[in-house]
């Protein structure tokens, strides 16, 4: 630690709970001017809550926030921004129908003497801010909806700079960027640091963290595990801090017994994010799918499940050529898909556990068009027991009142009710606690042992490495490699995930 350097923004003893569940406990965190402070933690560790407290969106239950050593409280995001604390969220908060310049300067545009917005001034100022970010190529007069994700992100950063940012919080800024854009972003970050901006850099990506960060803080289960100078730690140490134990022991993976081929995909294409993907899958096999966000992982699942039907290529199920145009067709063919966004895509939160459990398998719980209510309830009780779903009020409890892990078990149980041959899991453990995570990993292993074919999509490399028999790597819509378990190392997968595709860049 360098006690001489003063923190611009400091949090001490911050705690925050939601509906009685503590999310942050006695957190101490600070950022100095002109440093990059990386914040690491698994999903659900409390990072986003911490960010929202620093950006003025949430108020902490207890603890002190100080700006330039003066104790303070933020009344709103606008208040935090006025004091130089700005945030670039992962889901970029822009107005698609407004111009780039206006998005950057909305709310504090230059004015004419008569009080009207000085549009020439707005454009000039926006131009200037973007130029400072080496983005001379970005036209300030076009609408934001016409921009790529990387360009939108630069608009967000320019917006932050327009508030004279002293602290810039960046939430997973490279999660959906291609490799070239990542390099560009990193040089922007370095440039900002040299101008004295303090940057809080939230990411899981080790190479970026070691290339950029001056200090690293690890958050786990709502508590700070440690803050270290970046040069004093290595990757293994950080991972251990994040997970809480060495990763090798975490995954229950049995020796696989493969059966015949169930799914064979040839040159599958769909939209702009699935191009010429081919692979096959056997009974009892777990195929991991790795790739950056935006690499086409989820889109591949959507193509297989009929949500975004394939535009080219073939799919064979147990030797029969099939066309899948809707999710109901996919389900009837024996494909199940546990989607990545549990709350939005997986569940109907206002409905009961019982209703959610029979949502995908009505034919089992109905006679003709009529629902067999008592059977449905019995079946739901059964599943609650089998999957160890903690629903205090039983089958009629609204799903929205369950914890994340239990919600995920409901989604999984719902789809296993359809007796699928092929089970696609998209981020099955995102945002759930360690205990439920282990349970779900055990279930996945058991299902594979019973002969199910499983596709496991995950952005957590340890999970992919720990659970899969083979790993398929998606990069910019293409499958760049399929690697066997024994050859799968973080380095090889990482390389395949990030190798730039020159042909595609054009």
Partner 1 sequence: MTATTDDTQAAPLPGKGNAFIRYAYRSYGQELTILCAILIMFVSVGLYSPRFLSFDNLNSIFAGNAYIAVAAIGMSMLIITGQIDVSVGALIGVLATISGTLAVSGYPVWLAWLMPVVIGMAINAVVGILVAYGRIPSIIATLGMLSVLKGGLVSVTGGAWISNLPPDFLLAQRVMLGVPFPILAMIVLTVFASVWLKYSALGRSLYAIGGNREAALAAGIRIQRRIVMVFTIHGAFAGLATILFATQLQVIQSTVPPNLELTIITAAVIGGVSVLGGTGTVIGSTLAAILFATIGSALIFTNVSAYWLRAVIGLLILITVLADMMRRRKVWG
Partner 2 sequence: MASFAHIRSLTRHETILAMVVVFALVALSAQSDRFFTVANLLNQGRLMTEVGLVAVAMTFVIASGGIDLSVGSIMGLTAILIGVFWHNFGISLPVAAALAVGVGTLGGFVNGLIIARCGVPPLIATLGTLALYRGLAEGISQARSVGGYPDWFYLLGQGQINGLPTQLLVLFIFAITATIILSCTVWGRTVYAVGSNEIAARFSGLSVERSKLAIYTASGFAAAIAGVIFVSRVSTTRSDMGTGLELDAITAVVLGGTSIFGGKGTIVGTILGLILIQSLKNGLSLAGVRGDGTIVVIGAVLIVTILLSNIFSRDGFPEH
- Residue with smaller CB distance to partner 2, 278 or 366: 366
Q: Does 210 bind partner 1 (CB under 8 A)?
A: no
| Residue 72 touching partner 1 (CB under 8 A) | no
Give the interface segment with partner 2, choosing from 220-228, 256-264, 315-323, 398-406 (CB under 8 A). Answer: 398-406
Selection from partner 2, partner 1, none that 141 binds (CB < 5 to 8 A by kind) is partner 1
* Residues with Cβ within 8 Å of residue 441, at least 6 apart in sequence: 250, 251, 252, 429, 463, 466, 467
Q: Do 458 and 427 meet the contact criterion of CB atoms below 8 Å apart?
A: yes
Output DSSP code: residue 477. Answer: T
The residue within the footprint of partner 1, chosen from 98, 243, 293, 499 (CB under 8 A), is 98
Out of 18, 59, 93, 234, the residue judged to bind partner 1 by CB under 8 A = 93
> Closest by alpha carbon to 117, among 105, 126, 104, 128?
105
Report what 109 binds from partner 1, partner 2, none; CB cut-off 5-8 Å by kind.
partner 1
Tokens (6 digits) for 114: 């008569």
Residue 337 near partner 2 by CB under 8 A: yes
The distance of closest approach from Cβ of residue 76 to partner 1 in the complex, given in angstroms and rounded to an integer, is 6
Whole-angstrom distance, CA of residue 1 vs CA of residue 4: 9
Of the ranges 17-25, 113-121, 167-175, 357-365, which one interacts with partner 1 (CB under 8 A)?
113-121
Q: How far is the CB of 122 from partner 1 (least distance, A)?
A: 9
Is 298:426 a contact under the CB 8 Å cutoff?
yes
* Binds partner 2 (CB under 8 A): choice among 85, 104, 126, 307: 307
The owner of tokens 């922007």 is 188
Is 374 an interacting residue with respect to partner 2 (CB under 8 A)?
no
59 binds partner 1 (CB under 8 A): no
Residue 480 CB, shortest distance to partner 1, in Å, is 23
SS3 letters for 160-226? HHHCCCCEEEEECCCCCCCHHHHHHHHHHHHHHHHCCCEEEEECCCHHHHHHHCCEEEEEECCEEEE
Q: Give min distance, CB of 396 to partner 2, in A.
A: 3
| Binds partner 2 (CB under 8 A): choice among 25, 318, 349, 378 | 349
Among the listed residues 106, 175, 434, 482, the single contact to partner 1 using CB under 8 A: 106
Among positions 1, 113, 232, 344, the unique one binding partner 2 when judged by CB under 8 A: 344
The tally of CA atoms less than 13 A away on the side-chain side of residue 464 is: 30
**Contact flag: residue 96 with partner 2 (CB under 8 A):** no
Question: Between the CA atoms of 125, 131, 135 and 136, what dihedral angle is there, to the nearest 10 degrees?
Answer: 90
191 binds partner 1 (CB under 8 A): no
Give the range of 96-104, 219-227, 314-322, 498-506 binding partner 1 by CB under 8 A: 96-104
CB 345 → partner 2: shortest distance, Å? 4
Residue with tokens 């692979």: 279
Beta strand ranges found along 339-477 (DSSP E) = 366-367, 370-371, 422-426, 453-457, 470-475
Any contact of residue 487 with partner 1 (CB under 8 A)? Answer: no
User: Which one of residues 5, 164, 326, 489 is an interface residue with partner 2 (CB under 8 A)?
Assistant: 326
Beta bridge partners, 314, equal: 266
Q: Which residue has the tokens 């000085």?
A: 118
- Determine, following the binding rule CB under 8 A, whether residue 236 of this chain makes contact with partner 1: no
Residue placing its CB nearer to partner 1 in the complex, 86 or 408: 86
Binding to partner 2 by residue 432, rule CB under 8 A? no
Distance CA 307, CA 339 (A): 11
Q: Which of 5, 59, 62, 76 binds partner 1 (CB under 8 A)?
A: 76
Name the residue among 310, 238, 241, 242 with its Cα closest to residue 271: 310
The partner in contact with residue 400, picked from partner 2, partner 1, none with C-beta cut-offs of 5 to 8 angstroms by kind, is partner 2
Whether the CB-CB separation of 338 and 411 falls below 8 Å is answered with yes
Task: Report, in Å, the least distance between residue 242 CB and partner 1.
Answer: 28
Determine contact, residues 493/473, Cβ cutoff 8 Å: yes
Cβ–Cβ contacts within 10 Å for residue 67, how many? 18
Of the pair 73, 321, the CB lying nearest partner 1 is at 73
User: Measured between alpha carbons, how far is 59 from 245 in angstroms, rounded to an integer?
Assistant: 32
Quick one: which of 25, 171, 184 has its CA closest to 87?
171
Nearer to partner 1, 271 or 327 (CB): 271
Query: Among positive and negative, which fits the CA dihedral 422, 426, 427, 428?
Result: negative
Q: Does 339 participate in binding partner 2 (rule CB under 8 A)?
A: yes
Work out whether 362 is an interface residue with partner 2 (CB under 8 A).
Answer: yes
3-state SS assignment for residue 115 = coil
Question: Which one of 31, 81, 224, 292 is in contact with partner 1 (CB under 8 A)?
Answer: 81
Binding stretches for partner 2 (CB under 8 A): 307, 326-328, 330-331, 337, 339, 343-352, 355, 359-360, 362, 366, 369-371, 392-394, 396-398, 400-401, 414
Binding site for partner 1 (CB under 8 A): 57, 76-79, 81, 89, 93-98, 102, 106-107, 109, 112, 115-117, 119-120, 123, 141, 145-146, 271-272
């Amino acid at each position: 630690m360098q006690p001489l350097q003063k923190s611009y923004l400091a949090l001490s003893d911050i705690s925050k709970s939601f509906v009685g569940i503590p999310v942050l406990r006695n957190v101490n965190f600070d950022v100095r001017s002109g440093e990059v402070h990386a914040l690491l933690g698994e999903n659900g560790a409390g990072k986003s809550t911490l960010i929202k407290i620093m950006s003025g969106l949430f108020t902490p239950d207890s603890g002190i926030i100080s700006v330039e050593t003066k104790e303070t409280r933020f009344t709103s995001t606008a208040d935090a921004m006025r004091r130089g604390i700005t945030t670039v969220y992962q889901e970029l908060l822009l107005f698609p129908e407004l111009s780039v310049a206006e998005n950057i300067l909305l709310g504090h545009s230059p004015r004419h003497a008569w009080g009207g917005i000085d549009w020439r001034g707005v454009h000039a100022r926006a131009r200037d801010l973007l130029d400072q970010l080496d983005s001379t190529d970005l036209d300030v007069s076009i609408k934001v909806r016409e921009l790529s994700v990387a360009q939108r992100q630069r608009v967000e950063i320019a917006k932050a700079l327009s508030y004279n940012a002293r602290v810039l919080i960046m939430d997973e800024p490279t999660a959906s960027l291609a490799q070239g854009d990542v390099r560009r972003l990193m040089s922007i970050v370095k440039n900002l640091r040299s101008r004295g901006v303090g940057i809080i850099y939230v990411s899981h990506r080790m190479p970026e963290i070691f290339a950029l960060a001056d200090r690293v803080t690890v958050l786990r289960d709502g508590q700070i595990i440690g803050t270290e100078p970046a040069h004093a730690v290595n990757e293994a140490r950080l991972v251990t801090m994040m997970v809480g134990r060495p990763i090798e022991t975490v995954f229950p993976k049995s020796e696989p017994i493969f059966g015949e081929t169930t799914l064979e995909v040839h040159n599958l294409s769909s939209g702009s994010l699935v191009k010429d993907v081919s692979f096959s899958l056997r009974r009892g096999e777990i195929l991991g799918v790795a790739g950056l966000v935006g690499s086409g992982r989820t889109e591949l699942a959507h193509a297989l499940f009929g949500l975004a039907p394939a535009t080219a290529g073939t799919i064979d199920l147990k030797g029969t050529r099939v066309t899948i145009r809707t999710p109901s067709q996919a389900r009837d063919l024996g494909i199940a898909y546990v989607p990545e966004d549990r709350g939005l895509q997986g569940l109907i939160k206002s409905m009961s556990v019982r209703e959610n459990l029979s949502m995908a398998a009505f034919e089992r719980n109905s006679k003709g068009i009529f629902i067999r209510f008592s059977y449905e309830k019995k079946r739901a009780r059964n599943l609650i027991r089998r999957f160890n779903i903690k629903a205090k009020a039983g089958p009629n409890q609204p799903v929205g009142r369950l914890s994340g892990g239990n919600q995920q078990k409901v989604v999984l149980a719902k789809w296993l009710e359809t007796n699928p041959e092929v089970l696609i899991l998209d981020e099955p453990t995102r945002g759930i606690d360690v205990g439920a995570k282990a349970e779900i990993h055990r279930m996945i292993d058991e299902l594979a042992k019973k002969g199910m074919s499983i596709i496991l999509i995950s952005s957590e490399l340890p999970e992919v490495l720990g659970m899969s028999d083979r790993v398929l790597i998606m990069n910019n819509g293409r499958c760049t490699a399929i690697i066997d378990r024994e050859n799968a190392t973080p380095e090889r997968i990482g390389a395949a995930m990030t190798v730039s595709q020159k042909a595609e860049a054009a």
